[in-house]
C-alpha cells in the first residue's frame, strides 16, 4: 500500500492506493494513529485507489474509527465499489461512514461542525457584525 497525507478543513485526509490487507495493516494503523495523536481527530480515508481489502483491513478501519471517535473526531471513508461491497458484507457501512467522494465527506464534516470554526457567540460579538437590511446583526 502507498499513500499520502494532507491537512484540510480541520481534518486529516489520507489518500491510499494498493492493497489494505494483513501485510500492510500494521504499518497503516501505526502511521494513521501517529497523525491522530498529533493533529486533528477528524479523519477522512480516501480509499478510492485501494484495489483489495481483507478482514485485517476492515479491522484496521474499525480500530481507527474508534480511536478518532474517542478523541471527539469524525471518521469517514471515501469508498469505491470493492470497499463498499466488503464493508457491507460485515454490516459496517454506517459505523465506518462510507462516502462516495471527498467533497461529500468534507460537506458532512462541515455540517457536523467539524470542518469550520464555530461562530462567535459572545454577547459583544453581535456589535462587531454589520447590520443586515432588517436592522439585525447578520
CATH number at residue 49: 3.30.750.24
Using the predicted structure, report yes or no on whether residue 127 has a pLDDT greater than 70. Answer: no
Range of the domain at 55: 2-117
pLDDT confidence of residue 8:
77
For residue 126, is it within any domain?
no
Domain total of the chain: 1
Which of 2-6, 53-57, 96-100, 134-138 has the lowest average pLDDT? 134-138
For residue 58, is it within any domain?
yes
- The DSSP annotation for the chain comes to -EEEEEEETTEEEEEEEEEESTTTHHHHHHHHHHHHHHS-S-EEEEEEEEEEE-HHHHHHHHHHHHHHHHTT--EEEE--HHHHHHHHHTT-TTTTTEESSHHHHHHHHHHTTSSSPPP---TTHHHHSPB-TTSSB-
List the grid coordinates of 45. Answer: 480515508
Using the predicted structure, report yes or no on whether residue 137 has a pLDDT greater than 90. Answer: no
Write the pLDDT tens digit of every residue in 32-82. Answer: 999 999 989 999 999 999 999 999 999 999 999 999 999 999 999 999 999
Write the pLDDT tens digit of every residue in 1-27. Answer: 999 999 876 899 999 999 999 999 999
Q: How many CB atoms lie within 10 A of CB 100?
A: 12
pLDDT confidence of residue 9:
63
pLDDT confidence of residue 113:
80
Q: How far apart are CA 104 and CA 106, in angstroms?
A: 6
For residue 136, is it within any domain?
no
For residue 135, is it within any domain?
no
Q: Cα-flanking dihedrals φ and ψ of residue 105, to 5°?
A: -65, -45
For residue 54, is it within any domain?
yes
For residue 78, is it within any domain?
yes
Global pTM reads 0.79
Over residues 113-133, the mean pLDDT reads 45
For residue 98, is it within any domain?
yes
pLDDT confidence of residue 7:
87
For residue 138, is it within any domain?
no
Amino acid at each position: 500500500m502507498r499513500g499520502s497525507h494532507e491537512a484540510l478543513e480541520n481534518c486529516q485526509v489520507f489518500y491510499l492506493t494498493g492493497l489494505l490487507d494483513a501485510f500492510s495493516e500494521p504499518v497503516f494503523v501505526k502511521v494513521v494513529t501517529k497523525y491522530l495523536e498529533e493533529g486533528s481527530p477528524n479523519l477522512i480515508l480516501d480509499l478510492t485507489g485501494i484495489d483489495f481489502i481483507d478482514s485485517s483491513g476492515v479491522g484496521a478501519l474499525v480500530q481507527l474509527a474508534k480511536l478518532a471517535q474517542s478523541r471527539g473526531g469524525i471518521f469517514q471513508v471515501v469508498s469505491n465499489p470493492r470497499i463498499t461491497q466488503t464493508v457491507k458484507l460485515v454490516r459496517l457501512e454506517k459505523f465506518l461512514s462510507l462516502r462516495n467522494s471527498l467533497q461529500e465527506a468534507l460537506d458532512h464534516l462541515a455540517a457536523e461542525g467539524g470542518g469550520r470554526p464555530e461562530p462567535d457567540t459572545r454577547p459583544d460579538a453581535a456589535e462587531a457584525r454589520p447590520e443586515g437590511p432588517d436592522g439585525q446583526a447578520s
